[in-house]
Amino acid sequence: MELTVLVDNNTLIDRYLLAEPGLSLLIEDEEITVLFDVGYSAIFLENAARLGKQLDNLDYLVLSHCHLDHTWGLGPLIRYATELHIEQRPFKRPTLVAHPEVFASVRVEGIGEIGCLLSAEKLAKHCTLQLSAAPQALSSRLMFLGEIPRRNAFEARCPIGRREGAEGGDQVIDDSALVYRTSKGLVIVTGCSHAGICNIIEYAKEICGDNRVVDIVGGLHLLNPPADQLQGTIAYLDKLQPQAVHACHCTDLPSKIALSRVVPLHEVGVGLTISYDD
C-alpha cells in the first residue's frame, strides 16, 4: 500500500507544493484507490497533478468528519469531475463513505458554519453514498471504522461549536478513521482524531483482531491539549510501541516533541509518500 500526503499544514523542503491548514491523503494498493478527506480548498487537486496522481479513477472518497478543513474541497472536486465530463474525458463515480452525521450543520459563534457545505442530496448526484456508523470493509485490507467508542477518561472532552438540533457543544460524533491490515500489523489513518487517538487505535485493534500497530498517520488532535490528555496519550503510545508515528495537521510542536521521546516520530508534509509491505 502507498499513502501520499496531498494536503497538510506543512510542505517538505525542496518539494514545491502547496500547504494549508487541512488534510487530504491518497491511498493506493493493488485493489483500490481511496481519497481520504479533501482539505479546505482546491489545492489537493493541484498537488495531485504536480505529483502525477490521478483523481479521476477513485473507488472511494472517505470523509473523516464534517469540519471545513477536511470537507470544503468537495466543491472543487465536483467542479473537476464536471469539467472532465464536459471534455468527454473519463471520470469514475466514486463511493462516498462517511458517518451518517457528517452532513449535519455545525456552527461556531462569530464564524458561522464550519461543517460540510454540501448536502447529502447534492453529493448523491456525483457520488454513490455509503453512510454508516458501523465499520465498513472497503477492500480485503482496508476498513472504515465508523463511529468510534469513546472509552477512556482523558480524550474527546472538548466540544467544538454547536451541531444543529443538538444540545450542548458538538462532540464530533461523526469523527472516524481508516485502518489498513498488513502482515506486520495495522496502519491507522486518521483525520483529526476528535474521538481520541487512543480510542481509535483500541477500536481498530478490536475490529481487526490484531494488537500490532505498524504506523499511525494523520492528525492526533493534540493542539494545546489538557495536560492529562497529553500525558495519557504518551503513556498509551509508550506502552503500545508502534513501529512509526506520522503525526501531522492538528498536532502541535510541543506535543510532537513529547511524543518523540517515547515513539519513533517522523516528519510529515505535502508530497510525502509512505509505502507499506503487504
> Would you list the DSSP string of 118-137?
S-HHHHTTTSEEEE-SS-EE
The pLDDT value recorded for residue 127 is: 97
The pLDDT value recorded for residue 157 is: 83
Please name which of 10, 78, 2, 11 lies closest in space to residue 38, comparing C-alpha atoms. Answer: 78
Dist. CA 271–CA 34, nearest whole Å: 16
Contact 132, 99 (CB under 8 A): yes
Domain boundaries, the chain: 2-275
101's enclosing H/E stretch is: none
Pairing mode, if any, of strands 60-62 and 33-36? parallel
Strand, coil or helix: 33 = strand
Dist. CA 232–CA 223, nearest whole Å: 15
Tens-binned pLDDT, residue by residue, of the chain (278 aa): 999 999 999 999 999 999 999 999 999 999 999 999 999 999 999 999 999 999 999 999 999 999 999 999 999 999 999 999 999 999 999 999 999 999 999 999 889 999 999 999 999 999 999 999 999 999 999 999 999 999 999 998 888 999 987 878 899 999 999 999 999 999 999 999 999 999 999 999 999 999 999 999 999 999 999 999 999 999 999 999 999 999 999 999 999 999 999 999 999 999 999 999 88
Could you say which architecture CATH assigns to the domain 2-275?
4-Layer Sandwich (3.60)
The pLDDT value recorded for residue 33 is: 98
Query: Is the backbone of residue 249 left (phi > 0), alpha (psi -120 to 50) or beta?
Result: left
Pairing mode, if any, of strands 95-98 and 24-28? unpaired
The pLDDT value recorded for residue 156 is: 82
pTM (predicted TM-score): 0.96
